[in-house]
Chain A
Amino acid sequence: MTQAQLEIQLLAMATAVACSLCGVFLVLRRMSLLSDAISHTVLIGIVIAFFLTGDMTSPWLLVGATTAGVFTVLLVESLQKTGVVREDAAIGLVFPALFSIAVLLISIFSKNVHLDMDAVLVGKIALTPLPSRRLEFGGYDFGPKSLALMIAIIIVNIGFIILFFKELKVSTFDPAFSKAIGFNPYWIHLGLVLSVSTTAVASFDAVGSILVVALMAAPAATAYLLTDKLSIMLVLSCIIGMLCAVLGYWLAHFLDASIAGSMATVAGILFGLTFFFAPERGLFSVWQRAKIRDRKFKLALLLVHLTQHEGTIRELEECNIESLHLHLRWDEYETRSVAFEAVESFCALQENKVLRLTPKGRIIALESLQIGTNLS
């Protein structure tokens, strides 16, 4: 692995980590769509700051972009407060408007400047190691500028989360309670918006505006399916983000494709796998649990049915294995297998094709009946 390859991967990892950290709170607050908006509208801040300074590397670009991010959120919220449009519509109205103004400005005024749309959409992470983009100080080479910036953003994000961990937690879980105990959720919200905006701008340079969203939402959403604790979700989200970065880089290397695109693809694949196979919250284990629950309920139903007809004249007919499915209106095959399970688990005995309850089966049936009546 060459030094250039290493530097690109480090930057990809740093970007993914910075985004994953914000992403956790965006996902938990159902604000992922807002990150989509912010990542697009920061462009107008960058463009305006660029026209004012004429310098593509000026730190004012970062300031301009962050301001644009916060402005987006305020605009969306005030539009929403009018009560004329809902939140999703407000986001959908604000961000294309600001984004399209930015695109227009670029295409009209910057014909001879290298602010091209390709770079805006998917970034230019492959150019990271170029000599013009290095941080040099006193004759020493401190690596790519964008890597230094990204690490600074990570430090700020981690600092924000560590300092305000309990405030972030309580205001995300229960905003009304948070306000009642003296932590106005609005300030936390604003802090989060600032953090998302700066992260989006810094990542924008590396992976472009579209993929920032993927890196914010996918690792966090994946981590959400894997853990029950906020702190672990944050750590997992970062690890998954780094995994996306490294795997994405090598996928791009072998396919000779866009690095940012490959990273987002890997993020999508990792999420998909987790969505189906996560141990607790994955689709398959949810299905499996539903199946087991369904089966247990059917068994209880059968036992209750047996108690209702125990010792009555119709018992021979109602509890006959061969006609049971006609009375319960169940599938014949399924009825057989539930009846078989009842016998297997010593809840019932079979005498001349008639099911009779054992003491154990009677207790289970009575307990089930009790639960049914308590629910009222």
Chain B
Amino acid sequence: MTGPNDKKMEFALEINDLTVSYKDKPVLWDIDLEIPQGALVGIVGPNGAGKTTLIKSILGLLKPVAGSAKILGLEIDQGIKKIAYVPQRGSVDWDFPATVFDVVQMGTYGKLGWLGRPGIKEKKLTKDALEKVGMLELAHRQISQLSGGQQQRVFLARALVQHAEIYLMDEPFQGVDSTTEQSIVELLRELRNQGATALVVHHDLQTVKDYFDWVVLLNVRKIAAGPVSDVFTETNLKLAFGSRVSLGE
């Protein structure tokens, strides 16, 4: 059992020799990674670098061919309860017959377990999360009528409801308006200040320094990982993206 003092010792995520492949084509090659608790981590790399694969392996959605991941010192099937997952917005069918409230309430299902039913407490949690992302007025709107930014807020609220210790987000800034992007960043900082850890797949190199404390540069292999000021350098970026990328400085 982990007390408040032992907890500091654990890494939020500890990944050892993780290799994931589709058939015999490796998508992630022998990744070693230790993410400290309470960090806001950007995962950066070119298309096909394995960013989504990394997140899915941590969640146990993909089986690695080698290596392992530990969540707060626990094996995946135990540790997964400490994680809230925000998938890519495009991964679901937004024509599904459900309201904003319905989708956000799904975040309470995990703790309810099989056969459990959402009650007053879960409704309250759902409303609180909707309020946090500024979507309470749209609670009863059909999800097909949302803009991209609103859909992303719904997914974020669904994760907030879980009150997790670790948040894994797959491209939360993809195709959202700048207001939504700013409010997501603010929420992330708030979560971090409360002690949570967040891993965010990110595309915009220009904002990495503003948004994150930590960065993981990925291109099938781990190029570098560490505090942004140490790791987010021109040299490392060239290793990850090839020679054409620069920070524009």
- Among the stretches A177-185, A310-318, A345-353, the one at the interface with B is A177-185
Q: Mark B84-104, 1 if CB is under 8 A from A, else 0.
A: 010100011100111100110
Assembly CA distance A168 to B55 (angstroms):
24
- Among the stretches A114-122, A146-154, A204-212, A221-229, the one at the interface with B is A221-229
A173 located at the interface, meaning its Cβ lies under 8 Å from any Cβ of chain B in the complex: yes
- Among the stretches B2-10, B26-34, B108-116, B225-233, the one at the interface with A is B108-116
Pairwise interchain contact B102-A182, C-beta atoms closer than 8 A: no
Pairwise interchain contact A229-B99, C-beta atoms closer than 8 A: yes
| Choice from B61, B99, B102 contacting A180 with Cβ under 8 Å | B61
Number of residues on chain A facing chain B (CB within 8 A):
25
Question: 8 Å CB contacts to A: which residues of B146-201?
Answer: 158, 162, 177-178
- Contact residues in B for A164 (Cβ distance below 8 Å): 114-115
- Contact residues in B for A173 (Cβ distance below 8 Å): 92-93, 96, 98, 103, 106
| Choice from B80, B93, B112 contacting A166 with Cβ under 8 Å | B112
Assembly CA distance A229 to B116 (angstroms):
20
B121 located at the interface, meaning its Cβ lies under 8 Å from any Cβ of chain A in the complex: no
A163 located at the interface, meaning its Cβ lies under 8 Å from any Cβ of chain B in the complex: yes
Assembly CA distance A170 to B112 (angstroms):
13
Q: Mark A138-165, 1 if CB is under 8 A from B, else 0.
A: 0000000000000000000000000110
Pairwise interchain contact B91-A174, C-beta atoms closer than 8 A: yes
Number of residues on chain B facing chain A (CB within 8 A):
35
- Contact residues in B for A309 (Cβ distance below 8 Å): none
- Contact residues in A for B99 (Cβ distance below 8 Å): 228-229
Q: How far is the CB of A245 from chain B (nearest CB, A)?
A: 24
Q: Which residue of A lies closest to B117 (CB)?
A: A166
B83 located at the interface, meaning its Cβ lies under 8 Å from any Cβ of chain A in the complex: yes
B118 located at the interface, meaning its Cβ lies under 8 Å from any Cβ of chain A in the complex: yes
Pairwise interchain contact B106-A177, C-beta atoms closer than 8 A: yes
A247 located at the interface, meaning its Cβ lies under 8 Å from any Cβ of chain B in the complex: no
A341 located at the interface, meaning its Cβ lies under 8 Å from any Cβ of chain B in the complex: no
- Contact residues in B for A227 (Cβ distance below 8 Å): 97
Q: How far is the CB of A54 from chain B (nearest CB, A)?
A: 41
A368 located at the interface, meaning its Cβ lies under 8 Å from any Cβ of chain B in the complex: no
Assembly CA distance A183 to B110 (angstroms):
8
Pairwise interchain contact A172-B96, C-beta atoms closer than 8 A: yes
- Contact residues in B for A174 (Cβ distance below 8 Å): 87, 91-92, 106
Pairwise interchain contact B109-A181, C-beta atoms closer than 8 A: yes
| Choice from B83, B87, B107 contacting A176 with Cβ under 8 Å | B87
Q: How far is the CB of B14 from chain A (nearest CB, A)?
A: 19
**Interface core residue of A177, A182, A229, A232 (most chain B CB under 10 Å):** A177
**Interface core residue of B96, B107, B113, B162 (most chain A CB under 10 Å):** B96
- Contact residues in A for B236 (Cβ distance below 8 Å): none
| Given A167-B114, A179-B61, 16 new contacts (CB under 8 A) | A164-B114, A166-B112, A169-B98, A170-B109, A173-B103, A174-B91, A174-B92, A176-B56, A176-B61, A180-B85, A181-B106, A181-B107, A182-B113, A228-B98, A230-B102, A374-B178
List the interface of chain A (C-beta within 8 A of B): 28, 163-164, 166-167, 169-170, 172-174, 176-177, 179-183, 224, 227-230, 232-233, 374
24 A-B contacts (beta carbon < 8 Å): A28-B96, A28-B97, A164-B114, A166-B106, A166-B109, A166-B117, A169-B98, A170-B109, A173-B92, A174-B92, A177-B158, A179-B59, A180-B59, A180-B61, A180-B80, A180-B85, A182-B110, A183-B114, A224-B97, A228-B99, A228-B144, A229-B98, A230-B98, A232-B97
List the interface of chain B (C-beta within 8 A of A): 56, 59-61, 80-81, 83, 85, 87, 91-93, 96-99, 102-103, 106-107, 109-110, 112-118, 142, 144, 158, 162, 177-178
